[in-house]
């Protein structure tokens, strides 16, 4: 008759509260590792980029995320005018600026 009905086996003892807390320890350790190696550095880079964008002024030589190198000619609330060649200006969003180059970079090109 055992081929139709499975045999009943005794169950394991219920887990104690200490074992339940210890089972979450690897998950907590994984979160801590992710925080210090991924989340925290990304927040720092984001804060640095916000400071860079806020500090833009007329005459700064900048590089956009698209790779354009130019000089800021006009600063607005959300847009900038960047001169990329003589008598050629483009409007870009402030957050599209990826870096500020040292003064005199455009003369070297």
The pLDDT value given to residue 15:
59
The domain 55-108 is placed in CATH, from the list 2.30.30.60, 3.40.1350.10, 2.70.70.10, 3.40.1500.10, at 2.30.30.60
Answer whether 0.85 is exceeded by the pTM.
Answer: no
pLDDT in tens, 56-106: 999 999 999 999 999 999 999 999 999 999 999 999 999 999 999 998 888
* Structure-block tokens of residue 39: 């989340």
The answer to whether residues 98 and 89 touch, using CB atoms and an 8 Å cutoff, is no
pLDDT in tens, 17-61: 667 778 888 899 999 999 999 999 999 999 999 999 999 999 999
For 42-63, b/e burial (b = at least 16 CB within 10 A) is eeeeeeeeeebbeeeeeebbbb
Q: How many CB atoms lie within 10 A of CB 97?
A: 21
């Amino acid at each position: 008759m055992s081929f139709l009905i499975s045999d009943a086996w005794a169950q394991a003892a219920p887990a104690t509260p200490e074992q339940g807390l210890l089972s979450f320890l690897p998950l907590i350790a994984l979160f801590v590792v992710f925080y210090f190696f991924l989340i925290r550095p990304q927040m720092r880079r984001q804060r640095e980029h916000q400071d860079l964008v806020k500090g833009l002024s007329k005459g700064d030589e900048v590089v956009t995320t698209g790779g354009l190198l130019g000089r800021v000619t006009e600063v607005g609330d959300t847009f900038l005018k960047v001169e990329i060649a003589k008598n050629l200006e483009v409007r870009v969003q402030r957050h599209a600026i990826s870096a500020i180059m040292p003064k005199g970079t455009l003369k070297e090109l």
